[in-house]
Structure 1
Amino acid sequence: MKRLVVCVFILLVSCDYFENKKVKTEDIVSQELETIDWKSVDEYPSFTVCDSVSEKQARKQCFESTILNHVNDYLSKQSIVVSQDVEDTIAIKLKIDNLGEISILDIKTKPETQEIIPEIDTLLRGSIASLPKIFPAVKRSQNVTTEFILPVVVSIK
């Protein structure tokens, strides 16, 4: 008799154990989305010259220095005539989409710089447009769009 009671008790309790719990796909997706760090990428955007660099931070540095060097070279080849000295750090907000296309979202300069060099926006846009092919950033094996601010120091004496 004791065995029968124990078996019936085990059967009653174990019914919940075998019950299938249904998990909704939406719940899995929302839980996964909460765990993703949306502020960082697995690989930064890159140029062909940065292919030999494997460390993440060094690759980011290579990318940024390649853009800065290109912009500086482009601006140094332009004939910019000024009537007074110019010292400014121009902030260029850039977007690189998931296809590797770069675009300028905003250019912030001092009003004095804009007055002394009215064509500065056009020159900066030309330098960015002439960049070599960019490979987009990667997040979880997918190409993603990124935005960043590039500080360009303008010093003309």
Structure 2
Amino acid sequence: MSCDYFEKKKVKTEDIVTQELETIDWNAVDEYPSFSVCDSVSEKLARKYCFETTVLNHVNNYLSKQSIVVSEDVEDTISIKLAIDKLGNISVLDIKTKPETREIIPEIDTLLRGSISSLPKIFAAIKRRQHVNTEFVLPVIVSIK
């Protein structure tokens, strides 16, 4: 499972003065968002990878435990736009999926939101010793045959 699909996004704010503290360029952050399972990882990119794989594995495990019944095959890469605030709270901003997937699995949005809300505690990203808000896109491959 590759985590190279994460897109780099910047949080938008109206106030230019506070933008520097409240938004994040994923390349310039001092510490990526993290989970306690990543505490033993000290190298920055390895820690980012640990965070990304933890999120992906959690979502995949959550979905695999659901009893999704489909009448036809589903093959889709769903993009979930997520935000993590400076307190470590995660929220779903947007879910992009093919219309056919929504038709075949009408509960897909609810299932994905459930998987995100059940994530373990997240430690917010840090820039210049300040916790900062972050946004990113999580690609979730749904393949049911």
Q: Gaps (5+ residues) in structure 2? A: 1-16
Q: Gaps (5+ residues) in structure 1? A: 1-29
Alignment partner, residue 141 of structure 1: 129
Runs of 4+ in 1 over 6 A off after TM superposition: none
Q: How well do the aligned residues superpose, as a CA RMSD in angstroms?
A: 1.4
Alignment partner, residue 77 of structure 1: 65
Distance 1:151 1:123 in 2: 15
Shift of 1:132: 0.4
Q: Secondary structure at the match of 2:29?
A: coil
Pairing 1:152–2:121 present: no
- Number of residue-to-residue matches in the alignment: 123
Distance 1:109 1:38 in 2: 26
Pairing 1:50–2:29 present: no
Shift of 1:56: 0.8
Shift of 1:152: 0.4
Cα distance, 1:68–1:38 mapped onto 2, change above 3 Å: closer
Distance 1:58 1:87 in 2: 30
Normalised by the size of structure 1, how large is the TM-score? 0.76
Picking from 84, 97, 104, the partner of 1:116 is 104
Cα distance, 1:38–1:119 mapped onto 2, change above 3 Å: closer
- Of structures 1 and 2, the one with the larger relative CO (CA 8 A, separation 6+) is 2
Distance 1:58 1:126 in 2: 27
Identical positions, percent: 78
Pairing 1:59–2:47 present: yes
Alignment partner, residue 91 of structure 2: 103
Larger radius of gyration: 1
Normalised by the size of structure 2, how large is the TM-score? 0.82
Shift of 1:38: 5.0
